Amino acid sequence: MRLAYTLILPTLLIVMAIVLLPLLANFWISFKPVELGDLRAPTILFNERIRPTPKVVGDTAEISYRLRNTSKRGVYADGRLVDTFPSGLTVSGTLDSRCTLAGNNLTCDLGTFEPMQRETLTISVIATDAYFDNPINPRDSKPVINGVGDSILTNSVFSLDNYRKVFSGSEFWKVLRVSLYYTIFGTLGAIVFGLFAAQLLNTTFPGRGVVRGFFLFPYVAPVIAVAFAWVLILDAGPGGTLNAILMKIGATDGPINFLGRRATPISIFGLTFEFPVALTTVISFEVWRYFPLSFLFILARMQSVSSDTYEAAEMDGASPLQQFRYISLPQLAGILAVIFLLRFIWTFNKFDDIFLLTGGAAGTRTLTVDIYEQAFAVSNLGAGAAVAVVVFFVLLISALFIFRFSPEDDG
């Protein structure tokens, strides 16, 4: 037992480093009002120069230090500037009360810089012979600024503002409904088509191996390539292949914007409802691209079922539909539950497909797209992290629910 634990310890450490640490960091950021500009701790940017440049002995000039706190939120405390004062320049007038000059060592206590605070420190000087004997540009010696930057990302101040912003907006609940709609129908569609494909290819016929290989193409093809191909096929312009075919056969009077139209009214049995065009198109892409994975799982499980059972049922007069209902489905129940769980998690987390096809427009904005827009388009990392935490809990609850009610495999 000790040997077994020792052997799996590296794997556990890797899992903790790759999975748990980013997850904990995401939880931490979700309680912080952090933007992209807050990722770095507050620092003081400075620019040192002398104006005007002394030309002869006795010329007066000013050495100025222009200072700025780079952070929009963080405070830079206990600032201290240390610099080497140029030889041959003597201070004229009164030195700034915050500064002391010992020989050529200049020290200035800057105190506290509020967020985005700017300040200019000026020292009046007079040029002497020593300056022209060995002229030195003040910028040749870079000042050193020490202090304490209070980073909003790492301090101990927490807030629920991100969650209040997320849950108080009506847009969030719309996005959540779209995410669930997209995930449920995309997952069920991939499983149904995978089950249908597995039924077809479970029989023996010439060229079956080649056909099975073709069925895997949507899954193994690069997502950027296939998404671009779908955009070209579904284009509402003159180059759209599908629209050209539909108009040619008289199915539509004009082009349909499959990827840009939010909804269209449809009447069925006297009832009119809004049909989500773009969202259905994205779901169709999801089903087409990922049904091969379901197909592989289901086909592998079907081939492990003894053919004697089907032969006995056929001799007893069971129809193909009855064989599927009473033999195949009970045998596939366990693997279908596993596929549904995996596909549900992967589809709910899916970002690239929607982003490449519609960019989240026309009613296709899901929670993962919302995370991207909050964190990077709006630069609000805290709000994006809060939405990511919501995604985590939705998936956790869904996974526990599926585990609780998933059937056992009869095999």
Query: Which tens digit of pLDDT belongs to each residue from 236-274?
Result: 877 788 888 888 888 888 888 899 888 888 877 777 878
Indicate the average pLDDT of the chain.
Answer: 86
**What distance separates the 2 farthest-apart alpha carbons in the chain?**
117
Backbone angles phi, psi at 60, to 5 degrees: -100, 150
The number of domains in the chain is: 2
- Residue 321 has a pLDDT of 84
In this structure, what DSSP letter does residue 327 have?
Answer: I
CATH number at residue 289: 1.10.3720.10
Please give the residue that has the higher pLDDT: either 237 or 344.
344
Contact 63, 104 (CB under 8 A): no
Confidence of residue 139 (pLDDT cuts 50, 70, 90): low
- For residue 38, tell me if it sits in a domain: no
103 and 176 in a single domain? The answer is no
Q: Give me the mean pLDDT over the 21-32 stretch.
A: 89
CATH number at residue 121: 2.60.40.290
Q: Tell me: pLDDT of 281 over 60.
A: yes
Give the residue from 393, 368, 385, 391 showing the smallest Cα distance to 30.
Answer: 385
CA distances to 299, 307, 323 from 313, rounded to whole Å, are 20, 10, 7
Single out the residue in 149, 175, 202 at which a domain terminates.
149
Q: Tell me: pLDDT of 73 over 80.
A: no
346 and 396 in a single domain? The answer is yes
Residue 402, token pair as written in the block: 């599926």
Domain that holds residue 54: 44-149
Please give the residue that has the higher pLDDT: either 319 or 191.
191
Q: Tell me: pLDDT of 275 over 90.
A: no
- For residue 36, tell me if it sits in a domain: no
Those residues whose C-beta lies under 8 Å from the C-beta of residue 121, and which sit 6 or more positions away, are 64, 65, 67, 81, 96, 98, 99, 108, 110
- For residue 94, tell me if it sits in a domain: yes
Omega of the bond leading into 33 within 30 degrees of 0 (cis): no
Which tens digits make up the pLDDT trace of 166-215?
888 778 889 999 999 999 999 999 999 999 999 888 877 888 888 888 88
- For residue 130, tell me if it sits in a domain: yes
Q: Tell me: pLDDT of 33 over 70.
A: yes
Q: Tell me: pLDDT of 138 over 60.
A: no
- Residue 291 has a pLDDT of 93
Single out the residue in 121, 149, 177 at which a domain terminates.
149
- Residue 229 has a pLDDT of 92
263 and 365 in a single domain? The answer is yes
134 and 219 in a single domain? The answer is no
Confidence of residue 228 (pLDDT cuts 50, 70, 90): very high
133 and 267 in a single domain? The answer is no
Give the residue from 122, 153, 142, 147 showing the smallest Cα distance to 43.
Answer: 147
Q: Give me the mean pLDDT over the 30-38 stretch.
A: 82
233 and 370 in a single domain? The answer is yes
Which tens digits make up the pLDDT trace of 37-63?
777 788 888 888 888 888 888 888 888
- Residue 136 has a pLDDT of 62
Q: Tell me: pLDDT of 410 over 60.
A: no
53 and 136 in a single domain? The answer is yes
Q: Give me the mean pLDDT over the 306-318 stretch.
A: 81
